[in-house]
Structure formats: structure tokens, C-alpha cells
Amino acid sequence: MFIVLEGIDGCGKSTQIINLADFFFHQDKYNHIVVTREPYRRREIREILKTNEMPNEKKDQLVYLFVEDRKEHFKEVIIPSLNRGHIVLCDRYKYSTICYQSAQGFSLERLLDMHRFMPVPDLVFVFDVNVETALKRVSYDYSRKKESKFEQKNFLEVVRRNYLSLNELFPDENIILIDGNESERVVFEKIKKAIQKI
């Protein structure tokens, strides 16, 4: 099973991915779980995100890097793990490039084209939170330096709208929208219900 967690910065997905891993781990002694994330390992990406002044700068270079990084991630981690029968939980995937880089002004058509032949996850959770809440969470998290110039209100409003339209964009994919404004426990209950359904 390949499960993806998505949403704007501060939406709570990184907390929920650990809850989900814990849930699967204890559910069955034969479950083996791989928890992974994108961007995968291209250091240039995080450097650009830290130093780039405006969200709309360097979009072409970022798209190229994100897509190449994703191909490597697939080849090196996701496909081998799925082939071994492991459950793969991935923090961000193609939906991040589609929602963030189209908010940067990159052509949506081209982004969709670049991802046309990439494997479709079994399940995608999109955590929807209002941008004020998300930014508060990001700034309260003292363990975390401001890592991305994308953590700005106006920009994240556009990204959030893009996430909300993913179901229309991918009607054949299993994308579940979760209200992430509620407490960690309530959000996790909703995730478990969705998992049990499938």
C-alpha cells in the first residue's frame, strides 16, 4: 500500500504520518512500514527554498529539481519497498509540485504532463487548514527554523486553493480531504476511519 500525506506547510501531516506508522506497526506483526518524504535528497532544493527571496523566483529550476528528485525517490525507495510488500507512507508527492509550483506561476498543463506516467498512490490524505492556523503552528514550532520562503500568507492561500481543487483535477484518484483544523486526536480518528473503509 502506497499512502501519501499532503497539504500546506503547517497542516499537521508530519505529525499524522508518525501516528499512521504507529497504527500500522501495531496492527499486524507482519506489517513493515517505510516512512519517507519529498523532497527526497537533493540538497539544492532546500538551499533554494531557504535563500530564494520571492516564491515566484526560480520556478523553472525548482520544477526540474522536484521532478528529478521524485524519479530518484521512486527508483531507490518507493518501488523497491512496495515490491517487498512494505507499506509506504510518503510525506508529500506529485501533488506538492502541482499545487506549489502552479502557485508560483508554472503552467498547470505542463506540470500535469510531467507527472502523467508516475504511479498513482492507493490513498492520498490532504489536510486542509486555514492559513493563519498553519502559519501559527509553523512559528510555534521552535525546533524548526524557517525553512522555506513559501511560508507566507498570500502564497499559501493560493496553494491551499490548489489543494482544494485536486479532486476535480484527479477524479479517478483516491484523494481524501481531511479538516486539519481540529485536534491531533480528532484528525487521526478521521484518518483511521478512512483507512478502515478501504
The three cell numbers of residue 52 are 530564494
Within 10 Å of residue 53's Cβ, how many Cβ atoms?
8
The three cell numbers of residue 182 are 481540529
- Quick one: 94 or 188, whose CB is closer to ligand TMP? 94
Window 153-192: residues binding ligand TMP (CB under 6 A): none
Q: Is the link from the previous residue into 119 a cis peptide, with omega within 30 of 0?
A: no
- Of the candidates 9, 123, 125, 126, which one interacts with ligand TMP according to CB under 6 A? 9
- Of the candidates 7, 12, 39, 121, which one interacts with ligand TMP according to CB under 6 A? 39
Nearest approach in angstroms of CB 69 to ligand TMP is 8
Site string for ligand TMP, 43-82 (x = CB under 6 A): ------x----------------x----------------
- Quick one: 26 or 43, whose CB is closer to ligand TMP? 43
Nearest approach in angstroms of CB 185 to ligand TMP is 22
Nearest approach in angstroms of CB 93 to ligand TMP is 7
- Quick one: 31 or 118, whose CB is closer to ligand TMP? 118
Nearest approach in angstroms of CB 95 to ligand TMP is 8
- Of the candidates 97, 111, 178, 187, which one interacts with ligand TMP according to CB under 6 A? 97
Using CB under 6 A as the criterion, which residues of the chain lie in contact with ligand TMP when the complex forms?
Answer: 9, 38-39, 49, 66, 92, 96-97, 100-101, 147-148, 150
